[in-house]
Amino acid sequence: MRYLEAGKRHSVQFTLNGRAVEGEAEPRLLLSDFLRQHLGAFGTHVGCEHGSCGACTVRVDGKAVRSCLSYAVQMEGRAVDTVEGLASAEGLNALQAALQKHHGLQCGFCTPGILMSLSQLHEEEPAADEARIRDVLSGHICRCTGYHGIVQAALEVFGKS
Amino acid sequence: MKPPAFEYLAPASLDEAVAALAGQDAKILAGGQSLVPMLNFRLLAPPLLVDITRIPGLDYIEDWDGGLRIGALTRHYTLETSPLVKARFPVLHAAMAHVAHLAIRNRGTIGGSLCHGDPAAELPGLALLLDAHLKTTKRTIPVAEFYQGALATALGEDEILTEIMLPALPTGTGWGFEEFARRAGDFALTAVGVTVGAEARIVVIGAHETPMRLPAAEALFTDRADIAAVAEAARDEVTPNSDLHASADYRRHLVEVLTRRALTAAWERAA
Per-residue pLDDT at B207 = 93
Q: Compute the average pLDDT of residues A65-82.
A: 98
- Choosing from A64, A85, A106, the residue where a domain stops is A85
Q: Is residue A4 part of a domain?
A: no
CA proximity to B155, closest of B137, B128, B167, B132: B137
Is B36 at the interface with chain A, CB within 8 A?
yes
Per-residue pLDDT at B271 = 81
Residue B1, pLDDT > 80, answer no
Burial readout A110-126 (b: 16 or more C-beta within 10 A, e: otherwise):
bbbbbbbbbbbbbeeee
Is B11 at the interface with chain A, CB within 8 A?
yes
Among all residues of chain B, which has the CA nearest to that of A125?
A: B81
Residue B94, pLDDT > 90, answer yes
CA pair distance B83, B68, nearest whole angstrom: 12
Question: What's the total number of domains in chain A?
Answer: 2
- Choosing from A31, A57, A85, the residue where a domain stops is A85
Per-residue CA distances from B162 to A35, B73, B213 (Å): 33, 8, 25
CA proximity to A53, closest of A118, A114, A132: A114
Give the burial class of A49: count Cβ atoms within 10 A of its Cβ; 0-12 exposed, 13-18 middle, 19 or more buried.
buried
CATH of the domain at A16: 3.10.20.30
Are residues A37 and A79 located together in one domain of the fold?
yes
- Pairwise CB contact (< 8 Å): B103 & A65: yes
Are residues A26 and A49 located together in one domain of the fold?
yes
Residue B262, pLDDT > 80, answer yes
Q: Compute the average pLDDT of residues B83-93.
A: 98
Domains, chain B, ordered by start = 7-54 (3.30.43.10), 61-166 (3.30.465.10), 175-269 (3.30.390.50)
Best A4, A28, A45 residue to mutate vs chain B (most B CBs within 10 Å): A28
Q: Compute the average pLDDT of residues A52-77.
A: 98
Per-residue pLDDT at A49 = 95
Mean pLDDT of chain A, nearest integer: 97
- Choosing from A25, A53, A85, the residue where a domain stops is A85
Per-residue pLDDT at A114 = 98
Q: Is residue A77 part of a domain?
A: yes
Q: Is A20 helix (H, G, I), strand (E, B) or coil?
A: strand
What DSSP designation does B54 have? G
CA pair distance B80, B82, nearest whole angstrom: 6
Burial readout B32-70 (b: 16 or more C-beta within 10 A, e: otherwise):
bbbbbbbbbeeeeebebbbbbbbbeebbebeebeebbbb
- Pairwise CB contact (< 8 Å): A57 & B37: no
Chains A, B: CB contacts within 8 A come to: 108
DSSP for B163-219, written as a single string: EEEEPPPPTT-EEEEEEE-SSTTSPPSEEEEEEESSSEEEEEESSSSS-EE-HHHHH
CA pair distance B205, B258, nearest whole angstrom: 11
Per-residue pLDDT at B170 = 96
- Pairwise CB contact (< 8 Å): A51 & B36: yes
Q: Is residue A114 part of a domain?
A: yes
Q: Of A33, A73, A139, which is closest to B103 when you measure between CB atoms?
A: A139
Pairing of the two strands A2-4 and B7-10: antiparallel
Mean pLDDT of chain B, nearest integer: 96
Domain range holding A126?
A: 94-157
| Closest approach of A89 to chain B, Cα-based (Å) | 28
- Pairwise CB contact (< 8 Å): A28 & B1: yes
- Pairwise CB contact (< 8 Å): B104 & A51: yes
Per-residue pLDDT at A17 = 98
CA atoms within 13 A on the CB side of B224: 8
**pLDDT, tens digit, 9 for 90 and up, residues B12-38:** 999 999 999 999 999 999 999 999 999
Query: What value does the CA radius of gyration of chain A take, rounded to a whole number of Å?
Result: 16
**pLDDT, tens digit, 9 for 90 and up, residues A13-57:** 999 999 999 999 999 999 999 999 999 999 999 999 999 999 999
**pLDDT, tens digit, 9 for 90 and up, residues B102-151:** 999 999 999 999 999 999 999 999 999 999 999 999 999 999 999 999 99
| Closest approach of A78 to chain B, Cα-based (Å) | 12
Q: Is B135 helix (H, G, I), strand (E, B) or coil?
A: strand
Best B18, B98, B102 residue to mutate vs chain A (most A CBs within 10 Å): B102
Query: Other CB atoms closer than 10 Å to residue B14's CB: what's the count?
Result: 16
Is A101 at the interface with chain B, CB within 8 A?
no
Q: Which chain A residues touch B54 with a CB distance below 8 Å?
A: 2
Per-residue pLDDT at B184 = 87
Give yes or no for a contact between A138 and A151, defined as CB atoms under 8 angstroms apart: no
Per-residue pLDDT at A51 = 95
DSSP for A34-101, written as a single string: IIIIIS--TTS---SSSSSS-TTEEEETTEEEEGGGSBGGGGTT-EEE-GGGT-BTTB--HHHHHHHH
Q: Is residue A3 part of a domain?
A: no
Residue B93, pLDDT > 90, answer yes
Q: Which chain A residues touch B10 with a CB distance below 8 Å?
A: 1-3
Are residues A59 and A101 located together in one domain of the fold?
no
Give yes or no for a contact between A13 and A21, defined as CB atoms under 8 angstroms apart: yes
The confidence band for A161, taking pLDDT boundaries of 50, 70 and 90, is confident
Per-residue CA distances from B176 to B52, B68, B113, B161 (Å): 34, 19, 21, 27
Q: Is residue A2 part of a domain?
A: no
- ipTM score assigned to the predicted complex: 0.95
Q: Is residue A46 part of a domain?
A: yes
Are residues A24 and A55 located together in one domain of the fold?
yes
Residue B62, pLDDT > 80, answer yes
Residue B225, pLDDT > 90, answer yes
**pLDDT, tens digit, 9 for 90 and up, residues B227-246:** 999 999 999 999 999 999 99
Query: Other CB atoms closer than 10 Å to residue A71's CB: what's the count?
Result: 27
Per-residue pLDDT at B35 = 97
**C-alpha A56 chain-centroid distance:** 6
